[in-house]
Structure 1
Amino acid sequence: MKTQRPIAAEDDHRVVPFRPRSALQRRVVTGGGPPVPFHRPGEVQPDVLDLAHCEQPRQRPDDFRHRILANIAAFAFTVALTAIGIWLAMSIADLRKTQDCVLTGRRDCARVITEPYTP
């Protein structure tokens, strides 16, 4: 089987020169801060760690009570949904068992519920 190679135009090829690591220096940060990226000697770097331009003032304060109530409601909904799912699965299994009994030709498939005798 022949291997097929894509036809490439001359414009698609480009050589990217890589500088060796010895030409890079690491800026020393005092105070145990996070690491700072490499930079070339003499190159002026903007303050990379300053994220002030990304911060936005909050339009309203964080409502802790509302958050807790929402989490409790979500948990209760999840528990209810799980309980309904388990009940539904058990009901379907019981119905399937009764249906299998009837389809085999048996007559005593119905479940008999006995109530206590009260005179």
Structure 2
Amino acid sequence: MKTQRPIISDDEHVVLKFRPRTSAHPPGGAEEPDPAKALNSKTLGSNKTPSTLPAASDLSRYERPRDEGDDFRHRMLANVAALAFTVALTAIGIWLAVSIADLRKTQDCVLMGRRDCARISVTPQG
């Protein structure tokens, strides 16, 4: 029995040149044309050339202006609230684990047929 292979054209295979990151080529400068970008722009019907595509490393649009004040008080209150929530969640988790272990121990005792399974708390009388 013959196995069928898909027909693959040479247009689908592109060898990309490896370019290590160095300070000799600063980001946003003149770049060599990238065959993959050229192929994508052809297949998508775009008329942009690789040199007119926006630089991916430009993060200036995410920067905040320096004159905008940092709300330190609000940030610290948020941190304290997050810490209190984490501590409360951890304490509830520990209490739940101890309670489940205690119930399991009592249930195992009852299922073994013992009669003295109830915990009796002894308080000193004075």
**TM bin (shorter chain):** 0.5 to 0.7
RMSD: 3.9
The residue number in structure 1 matching 2:101 is: 93
Secondary structure class of the residue paired with 1:88: helix
Question: Where do 1:66-105 residues align within 5 Å?
Answer: 66-105=74-113
Count of aligned pairs between the two proteins: 101
> TM-score by structure 1 length?
0.60
Q: Higher helix share goes to which structure?
A: 2
Tell me the TM-score normalized by structure 2: 0.57
Structure 2 alignment gaps of length 5 or more? 34-50
Cross-structure match for 2:5: 6
Question: In terms of Rg, which structure is larger?
Answer: 1
Q: How far apart, in 2, do the equivalents of 1:101 and 1:28 lie?
A: 75
CA drift at 1:75: 1.1
Percent sequence identity over aligned pairs: 49
What CA deviation, in whole Å up to 9, does each residue of 1:20-61 have, x standing for no partner? 89xxxx9957xxx77967537xxxx68x67655x25666x64
Report if aligned partners of 2:109, 2:117 keep a CA contact under 8 Å in 1: yes
Label 1:13 to 1:28 Cα distance change in 2 as closer, same or farther (>3 A). same
